[in-house]
Amino acid sequence: MSNNKNARTLPGIGDMQMQDTQAVRLSQTPGGKWMLQLPEGKNYKQRRMIGQSIGDELHVSRDPDRHFFYRYNGYGFSYDLLSRVPYQILVLHLHANKLYISKRKALKTGRFLNFKKRRLERQLFLSPDEFYPDRQSAEKWDLENPERKKHETDIQGELFA
């Protein structure tokens, strides 16, 4: 249960399950901040703010000196946050700079990693090269890469494969 009396759990968002079946809770405060509550026994930052919704944007801050993973050439984000929270554009704040990526591109190009041994949530890593310097370019990617809808013959082929 949330320690913040003003926090609310959105429909379809609360009590998400990690791969190791331990409950992870994602809730939003009235100010739009997204709070992540990890299971009991987690030693470091069991409850923390991991993003903020502002309009149709999801804002996330990272310190390049602390949060960049050279091994994966990117920044880690909570997969549950990126996949289940409603937004169109992810805005990454790196000190004074902002980078933009559409939700669809983030979910399509990100690489998964699960820190199960450390009792952390599943992470999606995104390279800074996938981001754009402005929102318009991020939106343009979605227009130039439309979501492919399955054609009826594709579905039939899957049924008989």
**112 half-sphere exposure, CB direction, 13 A CA radius:** 10
pLDDT for residue 79 is more than 80: yes
Given this model, what pLDDT does residue 38 score? Answer: 75
Three-state DSSP class for residue 126: strand
Alpha carbon distances (Å) from 39 to 15, 56, 76, 87, 157:
10, 29, 19, 26, 43
Strand pairing class (23-28; 74-78)? unpaired
pLDDT, tens digit, 9 for 90 and up, residues 106-150: 999 998 876 555 556 788 999 999 999 999 999 999 999 888 765
Average pLDDT score over residue span 60-84: 86
Average pLDDT score over residue span 79-98: 93
